[in-house]
Structures are given as C-alpha cells and as structure tokens.
Amino acid sequence: MINRRDFLNTAGVAAATSRSILGANEQVNFAVIGIGGRGRGHVDGFAKLPNCKIAAVCDVNQAAQERAVAQVEKLQGHKPKVYADMRRLFDDKEIDAVSTATPNHWHALTTIWGCQAGKHVYVEKPACHNVFEGRKMIEAARKYNRMVQVGSQGRSMPHIIEAVRLLREGAIGKVYMAKGLCYKRRKSIGRTPDEPVPAGVNWDLFLGPAQMKPYSKNKFAYNWHWFWDTGNGDIGNQGVHEMDMARWGLGKPGLPNWVFSSGGKFVYEDDQETPNTQHATFGYGDSQLSFEVRGILTGEECAVDRGGTNVVGDYFLGADGYLSVAFGGCKVFKGEKNELASEHKPEPGRENRHFANFLQAVRSGNYKDLNADVEVGVMSACLCHLANISYRLGRKLAFNPDTWTFVGDSEANRMLTREYRKPYVVPDRV
C-alpha cells in the first residue's frame, strides 16, 4: 500500500498529465468510488449520460465491487476496472472524473486526493465530515482548478430554483425566518456485537481517517451514519438537503454569528450515538434559520407535504405570508387567511439533471457553471457541523463567520476538526 507522502508526490505529476480540457462531445472516462446503495445510483445515473463511460469502480467491499461490475456490464456492455484502494484509482491517468458515495468521513480526502491527481470530483452530501475539512476541499478545488460538485440535487430542480426566485422577488415580503424540517422516520438500529471482519471487506480502508475500532454490523453499511466517527446524524444526512434549501432561500451565503442546538436520543436503547431528535437555531442578525430533526413518529408542519411517514422540506416566513418547498413541490400562501396564491409542481429527472450539470462544467472548465459548487455544499454542511458541536457541548456558541472559528471557546474550536489516523490525514496544505 502506498503511503500519503508517496501519493502526494505522484499526485502532482498526475495533475499535470491528466486531461484538463474536454471537448463538448468528447468521452468522459468516469469512476465511481463507494458503490453501496447510493453509489449504485451514481453508476446508473452517469452511465445513462451521453459520452460518459464508467471506466472504473472502487470499493473496500469485494461483494460491492462485483455487483457494480455486473451493473456496468448491463448498462454499458463492458467491464470496468476494479479498485479496492482509491489511491490506486487516482494513479490511473485514463480517468477524467470521479464520483464518491463513500461514508461522510471519507468525503474530504477523496475530494482532495482526486483534485491533486487531476480528477474532477462529484462528492455526495454532506460535502465534509467537519468544518476544517470543508475549507481544505475548497482550497484544493481552486488550487488545482478542478470541478467539484456536491450532491445537493435541489440546486438543479426547477421548482426549487423557482421558489428561491419568488423569495428574492418579494412573493411573501421581507423574509425573516427559514425553517428546515427533517422529520424522516428512523427505526431503532438495535445492538450488534463486535465480530471478525467479514471476508472480502478491508476494514482498515473503510475506517480510513477514523480511529481503529472493532468491526460490527451496525458500524458498517448504512448505520455508519449514526456514529460520530463516520457520520453526522440525520441533520447531516437527509437534513443537509433541507439545510441547503433553507440557507439558499434565506439569502445567506455565509456562516452565522451564533448557533444553539439541543435534543437527544429518545425512546430507543441501541447503538446509535447521534440524536434522533434535534433542534438548531442559527443567528444572522436580521433573520434566523431554524432546523428540526425528528426520527420518531411525528406530525406535519406548515403545509410541507408529507411523504408517507416523512415530512421533509422547508418553509419561509415573510411579512406578507409564507412559502413551503420540498422535493414534491412549492406553495405560496398570502395574507391573514393564509390563502394559497400559487403552486409549482416538480419536473422529473432531478438526479440526472444534477449529474449532467456536473459533466457540463467538466467540459467547460468553469466552476461557476456548477449548480452546487464545493463552496456551496461546504457552507451548508458546516451549518450541520456547528449545530452538532453545540448539541454535543450543550451550550449556545458565538461564531466568527470571517475566521470560521468560535469566539473565545477553545473546546468548541477543537471540535472543528478531528484526530486523524495516519496515513489518512487531511493536510493543512493541500
């Protein structure tokens, strides 16, 4: 296995030799890293786009590799290259771009290493696992002039774009509050014992930047979301979509002046570390952003459409009414009687529209063509991280949005980053 220093030495050469400009109709050789459930969606989406060849797949799990190879053969009629270690993939000069659907704690290193190796990167939400990583991802994208798109698909959905336009044009008057809802039903994960690592799984590579710990089923597959070392709870999983819409609609491109978050893990006795009930408030001076997570059975709120047992979306409160928006549509209510003033239905194809936007920017070489550039995704992810730090410390925190640090709170500032396990270290200098 190559170490980090060797990889960085070869990365500079790779960045210099990888194709920097692609013609409008030139084939993009694409690789997908992390090919569990979400990653298979990446394979399917990118494989269906014109002139996009799934040239390689990468996963620490041999069974996932085999499923992805079969999927590519079915969709595109060829066998892709297979990698277990993404660093080997980044050495491949034939790969132009990658997408990653790894666990959250790998998003930053995958992006930074990819940029250093001259690859364009589509990274799933949340953009980063902590605030420090987000800054380094932005620096890497700009330094190596790579296109980095974050998987915030709402940024490519016409009815959500329309909702933001309506807010900007004063459809509900001056907007003073945005509220994001992540009422997504989550059942108890129970308890699973430590056990030997299954055959075909590279547990060291799975943990990567996280500290070594024994394998258990709950720490692997989907439930890694609910452990602080690898995930960010539902505020950083489903919730980051709604956080992004709330921040966008409120018209606040930067970070807040203060944050307070409280909640807990209620009802269930299981292995989950992150809260299943959480409330966060962010102060911006002339307006506020409020956010709620509820994983247990719950009711509806403020005309945000219910989808089965889930109520997931946002609403904006203004001087003249309110606007609700979710993946299922947008509604505007006006006046003292909250009368429906307009309604906007979604168009199909949100997933491929966002993937296609990424490839458009890869071809143009202009990161401003991206609907969810890395800086956009990092800002929204950082709101989730600030909320989680406040929740874990149990107090309101003052924040300096210019320096990206908490004011006079060394304990909180230590939580802006993590203790990395060598050689999987996010560097200070990218």
0.95 exceeded by the pTM?
no
Spell out the residues 6+ positions from residue 222 whose beta carbon is closer than 8 angstroms to its own: 36, 37
Fold of 4-154+352-373: Rossmann fold (3.40.50)
CB 205 within 8 A of CB 84: yes
- Cβ atoms 250, 287 nearer than 8 A: yes
β 258-264/397-400 pair status: antiparallel
Domain assignments of the chain as residue spans, ordered by start: 4-154+352-373, 157-346+382-409
Three-state secondary structure call for residue 374: helix
Indicate the SS3 state at residue 167. helix
Please tell me what DSSP assigns to residue 197: P
Q: DSSP letter string over 251-287? A: T--S--SEEEEEEE--S--SS--S-SEEEEEEE-SS-
d(C-alpha 330, C-alpha 171), whole Å: 12
pLDDT for res 164: 98
Fold: same for 4-154+352-373 and 157-346+382-409:
no
Name the DSSP class of 424: -
330 residue type, one letter: C
Does the CA dihedral 313-317-318-322 come out positive or negative? positive
CA 338 to chain centre: 34
Q: How many helices (H) and strands (E) does the chain have?
A: 12, 17
SS3 426: coil
Tell me which fold the domain 157-346+382-409 belongs to. Answer: Dihydrodipicolinate Reductase; domain 2 (3.30.360)
Backbone angles phi, psi at 328, to 5 degrees: -90, -5
Q: Could you please report the per-residue DSSP string of 397-410? A: EEEETTTTEETT-H
Instruction: List the chain pLDDT tens, one digit each, 430 residues.
Output: 344 444 444 444 344 445 556 666 689 999 999 999 899 999 999 999 999 999 999 999 999 999 999 999 999 999 999 999 999 999 999 999 999 999 999 999 999 999 999 999 999 999 999 999 999 999 999 999 999 999 999 999 999 999 999 999 999 999 999 999 999 999 999 999 999 999 999 999 999 999 999 999 999 999 999 999 999 999 999 999 999 999 999 999 999 999 999 999 999 999 999 999 999 999 999 999 999 999 999 887 877 877 778 999 999 999 999 999 998 899 999 999 999 999 999 887 666 899 999 999 999 999 999 999 999 999 999 999 999 999 999 999 999 999 999 999 999 999 999 999 999 999 999 9
Residue 212's pLDDT is 98
Q: Tell me, what's the pLDDT at 14?
A: 41
CB proximity list for 275: less than 8 A, separation 6 or greater: 233, 263, 264, 265, 293, 391
